[in-house]
Amino acid sequence: MNMIKRIVLFYSDGFKQMKVGKTLWLIIAIKFFLFFILLKLFFFHDVLQTNFSNDTDRANFVIKNLTNP
Amino acid sequence: MDSTLLVELSRAQFALTALYHWLFVPLTLGLSFIIAIMESLYVKTGDETWKKITKFWMGLFAINFAIGLATGIILEFEFGTNWSNYSWIVGDIFGAPLAIEGIMAFFMESTFFAVMFFGWDKVSKKVHLLSTWLVAIGSNLSALWILVANGWMQHPVGMEFNLNTARFEMKNFFDVLFNPNAISKFLHTVSSGYVMGALFVVGISAWYLLKKRDILFAKRSIIVAASFGLLASVFLTLTGDESAHQVALTQPTKLAAMEGLYDGKSRAGIVAIGQLNTDKKIGDGQKEFIWSIEIPYALSFLGFRNINAFVPGIDDLVLGNPTLSIEPAQSKIDKGKVAIASLKTYKEAMRENDNTKATIAFQSFRENQSFLGYGYLNDPAKIIPPVGITFYSFHIMVGLGSWFLALFFFVLYFSMVGKIETKPLLLKLAFLSIPLGYVAGEAGWIVAEVGRQPWAIQSMLPVGIATSSIDPISIMITLGLFATIFTGLLIAEIKIMLKQVSIGPEGEAHV
């Protein structure tokens, strides 16, 4: 318990004392929102995962592309 | 909208994101080790000036790390969306290295990163120093796994194509890990990062000396960074030599494009500098250069470790050279088409439960599988990458690398004899060389990636077959979004960095 408390305090003190770090964390948060919410959800769906339900169908689709260029 | 546009847009998007990603990575690789060396000096000497120096550069390291964080994840998004055929085909090979990279990056960098920044007065000096070194080592080991994956694309080994699943399956992990192409690429790439880190520290320190402020800080930073940069530059030269040797052995078309060599020859020289003849076509007998300065025998020696070695040119590789048993590209295309037809026949036979037909098709595929990718090309000339961009990028990279070696030497020399402050021209050149480090790094990647066209996987899968059938308009939209987001990130990095540099070490500019 004491160890967990020390680890929590270690991080919380560190975050409290940050100067430029606060700006950097804000940039990281905005970036993660843009990457993982905006881009990933709306633009970057995994074509094979989305269009096919199992690996056999995915393999057959890719082989079709390879053999009918 | 045609498929050519789709492929070109997918390539442009990947190139844009990779080039932006590489603006952040090399500084992380190099600066992390320079900081670790500075902190080691602090722990060894107990001199508080070294602690202040370490904390200042650590602050700039944190800015670069935070802004660059996860920019590489975009490339993985693109694999699944724009390059789904490729992504499926290589999934078994890339799964292990990329998973190891993810775990290693998370545990090593993230854990020890916190100790490095939050632990100055909370853990012992030695534990803190260990954390700093582990962040540096962890960052560099992360790069290893990515470059193992890239090395495999350049020279696929340790695998076998499964006709049922359409995937390359790993047969020997250690063949993939110790692929000579991957090892030389890893060492050359990380050492370019070390040079970038050293240029950054030397350049900014030079600015302080020109401004006549924070003199002791700047002089000490320069001595550490110039020493590190000089050693890294020598290492960079050696690894570059090995990398080019591997290219000569496994990617002869890339080597020919790097040197603008059409007519292969024994005792071939390296073009130190020159202007390509843009009217030159394959097999037309025109001269390759408008003008050039050549180092005799060097290409044969550096490429094949033998000054008498024959270096095949573009004409030899496309048209073939019976005297030297170099197979024409058309012959490889024909074999590739047999491989594709065999794959198709095999799948039909499996559906029809015709084992005899399947066995014959399987054997035929195995006999021709090394040429699979060639079967998708309709013109032998397509095996040649864009010569102009490959040639000039290679020579820009080599030229700048040579300049950095000289720069570190002179900066270190004048620092050691105590005259660096009296050399304003050298200090200005050092400062101006910071962006040149980025130019050299990006040029290196252009050589590596443009130079291996038309292949997504060398000889196995051309980029035209690797892509997904998606709407090119969606790629145009995301291309614009990426350009905007990454440019925004770059501007943010530069602005925050400049502010911290102007505050200087006396302002306790740490995070």
Is B511 a domain residue? no
For residue range B472-510, what is the model confidence (pLDDT) as tens digits? 898 899 899 889 998 998 999 899 999 999 998 886 545
The stretch B411-425 carries a mean pLDDT of 96
Q: B343 and A66: CB-CB below 8 Å?
A: yes
The whole domain housing B142 covers 3-251+385-505
Q: Which range marks the domain in which residue A50 is found?
A: 2-67
Higher pLDDT pick, A26 / B412? B412
Structural domain contains residue B190: yes
- Whether residue A13 and residue B63 make contact (CB cut-off 8 A), yes or no, is no
Please state the domain count of chain B: 1
Q: Which of B86, B162, B151 is nearest to B369 (CA)?
A: B162
Chain A residue whose CA is closest to B375: A69
pLDDT at B2 over 50: no
**Residue located via tokens 């318990």:** A1
In a domain, B314, yes or no: no
User: Residue B81 and residue B18: Cα distance in Å, rounded?
Assistant: 16
CA B337 to chain centre: 32
Q: Domain tally for chain A? A: 1
| Residue at B330 is within a domain | no
CB–CB contact A19 B510 (8 Å): yes
Task: For residue B43, name the pLDDT band (cuts at 50, 70, 90).
Answer: very high
Q: Cβ contact (<8 Å) for A43 and B474?
A: yes
- On whether residue B298 sits in a domain, the answer given is no
pLDDT classification of B48: cutoffs 50, 70, 90:
very high
Tell me whether residues A46 and B343 touch, CB distance under 8 A.
no
Task: Please indicate if any CB of chain A lies within 8 Å of the CB of B69.
Answer: yes
Give per-residue burial for B301-332: e unless 16+ CB within 10 Å, then b.
bbbbeebebbbbbbbbbbbbbeeeebebbbeb
Query: Residues of chain B with pLDDT > 70: what percent?
Result: 98
Q: CA-nearest residue of chain A to B343? A: A67
Chain A residue nearest residue B477, CA to CA: A43
* Residue B355 in domain: no
Question: Chain A contact for B344, CB < 8 A?
Answer: yes
Average pLDDT, chain B: 93
Give the residue numbers in A contacting B (CB under 8 Å), as ranges: 10-11, 13-15, 17-21, 23-25, 27-28, 31-32, 34-35, 39-40, 43-49, 55, 58-59, 62-63, 65-69
> Rounded to an integer, what distance in angstroms lies between the CA atom of residue B131 and that of residue B322?
59
Average pLDDT over residues B310-334: 96
Which residue is associated with the tokens 């500084």? B27
Does B66 contact A at CB distance below 8 Å?
yes
Residue B106 has a pLDDT of 67
| Within a domain: B489 | yes
Q: Does the complex come out with an ipTM higher than 0.90?
A: no
Q: What is the mean pLDDT of residues B180-191?
A: 96
